[in-house]
Structure formats: C-alpha cells, structure tokens
Amino acid sequence: MTRLDARGLAVDLGRKPVLGGIDLAFEAGSLTVVVGPNGAGKTTLIRALAGLLKPRQGAVRLDGRALSDLSGHERARSIAYLPQSATLAWPLPVAGVAALGRLPHGETPDALTLEGREAVRTALHAVGLEGFETRPATDLSGGERARVLLARALATQAPVLLVDEPVAALDPRHQLIVLDILRAKARSGATVVAIMHDLTLAARHADRIVLLEGGRIRAEGPPETVLTEAHLAESFGIAAHVTHQDGRLTVTPDRPLP
C-alpha cells in the first residue's frame, strides 16, 4: 500500500509564491480530483507531488520517505505522471510509446523483459488500443493519442498515478473512457490524482475532491461536501446550480458573479 502525502508544502515558481500551507494525504485505492479556477496552482501542486518541483517549505513523502531522498529512477518507478497536453516529438509506433513507460525499470523499447511486454500489452488493452501497436502514434486522432500517452503512464505500473487534465481536449465518449480507466486503476489499489475542469464529471467519478484557490486548499472531502453552491461562488466566482439525483451530483454553471 502506497501512501503519498504533502506536509506543510509551499512552492515558488521563480520568486513567485504559488502554493502555500498544503497538507494533503492520498490513500491507496482512491481517485482524488483536484479542481480550481485557472491559476489556482493545480499544475504546480501535481508537479510538486510528482517530485518535479523543489518545494520551498515542507516535503512530499512517499510511504514516509521524502521524494528528494529518492533517486530519479526510484521515484519514476513509484510515481507515473502524465502532464497536461503532453506531446510526442517523433512518429514512434504506439507500442513503442507505451514501452517508454518501462524506462524507469531499466527496460528499453527494443529490449523489454517478459514482464515489460506484459505491462505494455495490459496498458494498451486498458485504453482499448489493441491492434494499433505498429501504427505511428502521431497519425492517430487526438482522442487516440491521449489514450496512447495514458497507456505510457500505465505501463510503468507505478503505485501512484498523477494526471494533469487528462480529459480536457477529448470528446464526451473519450472523457468517460479515460475516467473509467483512472477509476479502474484506483480500484486495483493505486493512488490516483487527477486535475479536471469539468465539475460534473469530477463529482461523479472522484472519491474525493480537493478545491484549490489562490495556492491554498479551500475545501476537501467527498464531492457533495466540496462542490456546494457556496464554495463555487466563493472560489470560481460563479453562480451554479448543484442538483442531487439518485445520489449523483450535477453541477450546472449558470452565470459569472460580478
């Protein structure tokens, strides 16, 4: 069981303080969705959780060990990270891209171990891209390419998966597919953290919501306690209707508040 926690975390970008006073613990087996207005520090938070930013104060710990004490490969084997609008520089084959997720295990795409091959196959199966293995990933549609990159993150088989806006540029069907994959990953015992802008999708799929605003945590907990009309007005500056139907939450943004 892997536990990721941030204690007293403060992060600066350059000299600008972006995050402060962040105390969060992420338990294995749950999907946490981070929401917040643009510029709230969501990406900075997830990059700090991934160990890619050095905090000014506090630390991120993986099972009690500070990320800064881990070697690059150790960290990469434990935490898979999918950045926002990730790109692919070369027309590599789909299976070759997914196989890059095995690099932290010391495996290369042309020399995968049996375990590595199985991990790549499982990852491509999870994202529904079997049969695409030899196609150049750059020739695929946006939705397919996003799934290839997600497969790359899954192929690492890291106990922690951090994804930054995984559904932002996808059609509704692909959004639901990707969220199902993230939930399945969490059910299998992983710690999954995702940044999202679609509040209804977040409410319906997340086990827990973290609402970030101005670099601080405004609220956190189950979706129905965080995504309230009062919180949305205060943090996003919108008037929104939150309705509960059959235990499912729907957030309908109505108008911006003055």
Partner 1 sequence: MLRSTKPLILGLLALAGGLALASLMLGPAPLSPGLALKALVTDQGSASVVVREIRLPRTLLALLIGWTFGLTGAALQGLLRNPLADTSVFGASQAAAFGAVSVLYFGLVGALSWALPAAAIGGALLSIGLVVAVAGRSTTVVVLVLAGLAVGSLAGAATSLAISLSPNPFAVTEIVFWLLGSLEDRSLTHLWLAFPFCLLASGLLLACGPGLRALALGEETAASLGVNVPRLRFGIVLASALGTGAAVAVAGSIGFVGLVVPHLIRPLVGHDPARALVPAGLAGAALLLAADIAVRLIPTPAEVKIGVLTALIGVPFFLWIIARRKAELSETPA
Instruction: For residue 176, give both structure tokens.
Output: 């639901």
Stretch that binds partner 1, among 33-41, 78-86, 124-132, 178-186 (CB under 8 A): 78-86
Sole binder of partner 1 in the list 20, 22, 44, 81 (CB under 8 A): 81
Contact at 8 Å (CB) between 193 and 200?
no
Diameter of the chain by CA atoms? 59
CA–CA dist 239, 232 (Å, integer): 7
Residue 91 interacts with partner 1 (CB under 8 A)?
yes
Q: Which of 2, 17, 101, 86 is nearest to 53 (CA)?
A: 17
Residue 246 interacts with partner 1 (CB under 8 A)?
no
Residue 101 interacts with partner 1 (CB under 8 A)?
yes
36 vs 109, beta carbon nearer partner 1: 109
Instruction: For residue 96, give both structure tokens.
Output: 């070759």
Give just the sign of the alpha carbon dihedral 45, 49, 53, 56.
Answer: positive
Q: Where are the beta strands (DSSP E) in 63-111?
A: 65-66, 79-82
Contact at 8 Å (CB) between 199 and 251?
yes
Sole binder of partner 1 in the list 54, 56, 73, 125 (CB under 8 A): 73
| Cross-strand bridge partners of residue 112 | none
Instruction: For residue 54, give both structure tokens.
Output: 């050095």
107 vs 198, beta carbon nearer partner 1: 107
Sole binder of partner 1 in the list 36, 104, 159, 223 (CB under 8 A): 104
The SS3 call for residue 234 is helix
Stretch that binds partner 1, among 26-34, 73-81, 203-211, 247-255 (CB under 8 A): 73-81
118 vs 224, beta carbon nearer partner 1: 118
End-to-end CA distance of the chain: 46
Sole binder of partner 1 in the list 26, 40, 60, 75 (CB under 8 A): 75
The residue behind tokens 């108008």 is 255
Query: Shortest gap between Cβ of 103 and partner 1 (angstroms)?
Result: 5
Residue 87 interacts with partner 1 (CB under 8 A)?
yes
Side chain identity, residue 69: D
100 vs 201, beta carbon nearer partner 1: 100
93 vs 214, beta carbon nearer partner 1: 93
98 vs 178, beta carbon nearer partner 1: 98
User: Which residues in the 143-172 window bind partner 1 by CB under 8 A?
Assistant: 149, 152, 156
User: Which residues in the 53-72 window bind partner 1 by CB under 8 A?
Assistant: 71-72
Q: Which of 125, 129, 126, 93 is nearest to 110 (CA)?
A: 93
* Binding stretches for partner 1 (CB under 8 A): 47, 50-52, 71-77, 79-83, 86-93, 95-97, 99-101, 103-104, 108-110, 112, 117, 133, 149, 152, 156
